Amino acid sequence: MSEYITIALVSTMTGNQLSKYRKEKERTQLETAHALGVSQTYLSLLEAGKRPLTEKLVRKAIRFLNSPDENTDRSSAPEFKSDLGRSACGSPLAAWVTGASHLKRTGPRTRRFALAALNSPKRDARVVEALPWVVLTFPDMEWASLTKVAKAYDLQNRLGFITEVARSIASFRGDGLKGEKLLRCESRLERSLLVREETLCNETMTNAERRWLAVTRPEPAKRWHL
């Protein structure tokens, strides 16, 4: 992008234009907000024109949205979720294999997929099933960055739970090396465990369903307040 175009965008960009530009670049609100140093809620207000879009924020947005990794994240695309939903027999492994084909099996894209899935207002069950397999397959992700963003958006309980599930699978398979790596990541997340109870999948459960799950949920879910 030439300097002239950058100057023009800085001086004229509106919140609505920022929203359209972000979507064209296939960036989520979560990762864009993190890059701008604001909350996802504040970015929503900016894009809705309810908060002023400053020159500094526009410059940061242009720099971020035109970074080399701009077109690699397909985790929020409709066809990605559709493919996960069609995975054979509801198998988490089948869901993960489908997701991996979109992610092209690279670490940075996987972090973005995990964060987008965890922070989505409505998480498809197949996506939730795939998450532990993502963590198990990529135990060497940049966990410092992933944990930092997860904490910023209060996602540490959800991330901690899927990490523990992945660690359990590694232990069952006799993969001690992966298990040790995931245990270290899990321990760091546990230090910032949130007290509040939340859910990993269905946000619209009735009170009766919540009471039933509070009694019948497995021990890892209890530990992570899910």
| Domain of residue 138, residue span | 78-195
**What are the residue ranges of helices labelled H in 55-206?**
55-65, 78-85, 92-103, 107-119, 125-137, 143-152, 156-172, 176-190
Q: Tally the domains of the chain.
A: 2
Within this chain, do residues 9 and 39 fall inside the same structural domain, yes or no? yes
- Per-residue pLDDT averaged across 6-34, rounded? 77
- Report pLDDT digits (tens) over 160-211: 999 999 999 999 889 999 999 999 999 999 999 999 888 887 667 788 887 8
Within this chain, do residues 11 and 105 fall inside the same structural domain, yes or no? no
User: Is pLDDT above 50 for 218?
Assistant: yes
Within this chain, do residues 21 and 82 fall inside the same structural domain, yes or no? no
- Give the confidence band of 10 by pLDDT, cuts at 50, 70, 90: low
In a domain, 8, yes or no: yes
User: Is the separation of the CB atoms in 142 and 112 below 8 Å?
Assistant: no
Within this chain, do residues 100 and 189 fall inside the same structural domain, yes or no? yes
In a domain, 223, yes or no: no
User: Is the separation of the CB atoms in 18 and 67 below 8 Å?
Assistant: no
Picking from 195, 204, 201, the residue whose alpha carbon sits closest to that of residue 222 is: 195
Picking from 162, 198, 212, the residue whose alpha carbon sits closest to that of residue 182 is: 162
Within this chain, do residues 135 and 27 fall inside the same structural domain, yes or no? no
In a domain, 205, yes or no: no
Within this chain, do residues 128 and 167 fall inside the same structural domain, yes or no? yes
User: Is the separation of the CB atoms in 94 and 88 below 8 Å?
Assistant: yes
In a domain, 127, yes or no: yes
Domain of 25, CATH number, reads 1.10.260.40
- Report pLDDT digits (tens) over 21-59: 888 887 888 888 888 888 888 999 999 999 988 888 888
Give the pLDDT of residue 11: 55
Within this chain, do residues 32 and 87 fall inside the same structural domain, yes or no? no
Q: What residues have CB less than 8 Å from 119, skipping those under 6 apart?
A: 28, 30, 40, 153, 155
Helices then strands, each counted (H, E), the chain: 14, 0
Within this chain, do residues 59 and 168 fall inside the same structural domain, yes or no? no
pTM of full prediction above 0.85: no
Length of the chain: 226
Within this chain, do residues 100 and 174 fall inside the same structural domain, yes or no? yes
In a domain, 45, yes or no: yes
- Report pLDDT digits (tens) over 76-110: 444 444 444 443 334 444 444 444 444 444 456 67
Comparing 8-12, 133-137, 189-193, the range with the smallest average pLDDT is 8-12
In a domain, 149, yes or no: yes
Give the pLDDT of residue 101: 45
DSSP symbol at 101: H
Within this chain, do residues 96 and 179 fall inside the same structural domain, yes or no? yes
In a domain, 72, yes or no: no
Rounded to whole angstroms, the Cα distance separating 209 from 65 reads: 42
Within this chain, do residues 103 and 173 fall inside the same structural domain, yes or no? yes
Which residue among 65, 100, 119 closes a domain? 65
Give the pLDDT of residue 97: 45
Within this chain, do residues 167 and 102 fall inside the same structural domain, yes or no? yes
- Chain position carrying tokens 């904490």: 151
User: Is the separation of the CB atoms in 74 and 103 below 8 Å?
Assistant: yes
Give the pLDDT of residue 78: 44
- Per-residue pLDDT averaged across 9-30, rounded? 79
Which token pair is 72?
A: 């690699």
